[in-house]
Structure formats: C-alpha cells, structure tokens
Amino acid sequence: MNNFPKVEYVTYTTDEIPKLGKVKFRTFTVGEHKQFLEAVAMGQAEPVLDTLCDIIGKCTFGKINVSKTEMYLLDRLYLDIYIKSKGANSPVTYRCSNHVTGEDGNEKVCGNTMNVNIPLTSAYLDIPEDYAETAIVKISETAGIKLRQPCLDDFKRIKDDGGKVEITEKFLYSSIECIYDGERLMYPGQDFDLPGLMAYIETLPDTVMPQIEAFFDSTPQLKIELPITCTKCGHKETIKLAGLDDFFA
C-alpha cells in the first residue's frame, strides 16, 4: 500500500465580508483546479457555477452554506481563494480603441494590443448606498414586496420545476424574500408559485416594476478600476471591470 506523506494545508482568513464575517479558507488542490478547468472547457455556465460552489465549500471547510449564500458574496470568496492559490494577477489582452491620425492624414483606430495584468487584490465590493432601501418595493402604504439577491439553491429549484421560464421571471421569483400585507407574510414556494406570482404582478400598479428594476440595477458587484497607457499612441484611460467574468476575460 502507498504511504504518502500527510497533506497539511496552509490556511488563510479573509477580510470582513458582509453577512459572512471573516472566513477561514485554504487554497485549491491540484484536483480541484483540474475539475474547474474541465468545467470551463465545457463552455456552459451551469457546470462552471456548480463546480465553483463545490470548490468554495471544500476550501472553506464546509463552514459556509454555499447553496444559501448570495452570489456576489461567493464571488468575493472565490477571488480570495484564487489569489492565494494562483496569484494576485490575471493576464488579459488589451486593444487600444483610441482614434489617431494616420500617415495619410485620415483618422483611424490605434488598434495596438498589449498584454496587461489585472491586479486582483485591488478588487472591492461595491454596495450602493441605497441598496437596502431598494430591497423594499411598496405596493401600498401597508403592502409590499421584500427582495433579496438570489442564491444557488434558488436557481436550481426553479430549473427543477420544469418548463421554460423567461430569465426575467426566474430572477424575479428567486429574488423575492416575501410579500407582506400588514403583518401577514407570504413566502415563495410555500404560499405562491411562479405562475401565481406572475399573474399577481400583472395586476400591480405600473409604478412597481421600476422599483423592482432599481433593485436589480443596484446589485452589489466586485469591481476593479484599471488605469492603462497605450504603448503605441500614449492614450490613457481607466478600464472599469465588474465581476469575475471581466477579471478573467
């Protein structure tokens, strides 16, 4: 029988994360990173998301209920784990879109391409000041809808319901914490289903939808502001990146 040395993992602790506090974690294992790359190679969002959440759960020693955690918080956790596992920079290719004057006197796009590193440690979690306020959608003085950010379980549950549902409906249903009428509370999956909700939404005043849209527009995001100077034309600009997709483009 093989008698390999016992693996001792180095552990780290995140800075304070909203709702989660300081989280203890370890780096990826070789197998976990391979698993993630295989999911990415499939070219589909669902296996990538499932694998990502599985890895986060293992790397945080099962202390985080990943399936019940809001997605933007999982992004924050994953980034911390990635930095300690793979490094603090993400290499990307930048193409300058600045308009310059060519040798023939005509205007053209610079088009210079550069390899740049995104400094992942400069990422910050942007939570709009009015985020908490937008979570309450008022229907009347005593009735309204309390919204929240959807978690992984929400998306899976809606998919398992069967049938084709528009993405806007999926997000709306999975983002409702409850509907209140005075002290009476109604919960999704318990007191109403998706078709019932959509039928109810159709009866609401037209002022309700802008409030719901405002909540989605104020979704917290990881952001990085990356200053770049073109090595060919000298153009300077600051690229604003939002979310893991932008960080690892």
Q: What are 191-228's pLDDT values in tens digits?
A: 998 889 989 989 998 888 888 888 888 889 999 999 99
Indicate whether 239 pLDDT > 60: yes
Question: Could you tell me if residue 4 is inside a domain?
Answer: no
Give residue-wise pLDDT tens across range 29-84.
888 888 877 877 776 667 777 888 889 999 999 998 888 888 889 889 999 999 99
User: Who has greater pLDDT, 58 or 130?
Assistant: 58
Average pLDDT, the chain: 86
Same domain, 106 and 153: no
Indicate whether 169 pLDDT > 90: no
pLDDT score, position 249: 64
Same domain, 117 and 224: yes
pLDDT score, position 163: 43
Same domain, 208 and 232: no
pLDDT score, position 167: 46
Same domain, 137 and 172: yes
**Predicted confidence band at 155 (pLDDT cuts at 50, 70, 90)?**
low
pLDDT score, position 162: 47
Distance CA 144, CA 96 (A): 48
Query: Nearest 5°: phi and psi at 21?
Result: 75, -150
Question: Could you tell me if residue 2 is inside a domain?
Answer: no
Token digits for 169?
Answer: 């409906």
User: Who has greater pLDDT, 157 or 112?
Assistant: 112
Q: Per-residue pLDDT averaged across 160-187, rounded?
A: 75
CA nearest 137: which of 89, 176, 81, 91? 176
Indicate whether 166 pLDDT > 80: no
Same domain, 142 and 154: yes
Distance CA 6, CA 143 (A): 58
CA nearest 25: which of 9, 38, 36, 40? 9
Q: Contact 91/115 with Cβ under 8 angstroms? A: yes
What does the chain come to in residues?
249
pLDDT score, position 156: 59
Distance CA 72, CA 221 (A): 6
β-bridge pairing 221-229 and 124-126? antiparallel
Distance CA 46, CA 39 (A): 9
pLDDT score, position 124: 93
User: Who has greater pLDDT, 5 or 94?
Assistant: 94
CA nearest 74: which of 19, 156, 29? 19
**Tally of domains in the chain:** 3
Find the domain containing 232 and state its range. Answer: 91-125+220-247
**Predicted confidence band at 165 (pLDDT cuts at 50, 70, 90)?**
very low
